[in-house]
Amino acid sequence: MGLMCKLLWFFQDDRKESFLNNALLVDVRSPEEFLNGHIEGSINLPIDQIISSIHKITLDLEANIVVYCASGLRSSSARKVLIKMGYMNVINGGGVNGVADKFKKHIV
């Protein structure tokens, strides 16, 4: 069972689908990594810019946000920062390939 499945197992199926369908996909890798391949429709917000730039993506503290990186380490840190900032629905999706599979999206 993947990380995202483990994190969302407690949602009822309809809530899980709603969360996934309405989630912002935030790639916290560097711009260079993002340009070398990212999930279609995702937004690049490098980990070192989370605090200063998340407001450019959303001001909604209840927004569904899935952060991802190469392996899940940076996205874990990004999730913690966002939670401390007051964002309530943030999930560490883990690595780019796993998130792409879960969301049934292509890496472009």
Residues recognised as catalytic: 69
Distance CA(59)–CA(99), nearest Å, equals 23
- Residue type, position 54, single letter: I
Using only C-alpha atoms, the chain has a radius of gyration, in whole angstroms, of 13
24-27 vs 89-95, strand pairing mode: unpaired
Sheet containing 24-27: order of strands: 43-44, 24-27, 64-69, 89-95
Q: Is the dihedral of CA 22, 66, 88, 55 positive or negative?
A: negative
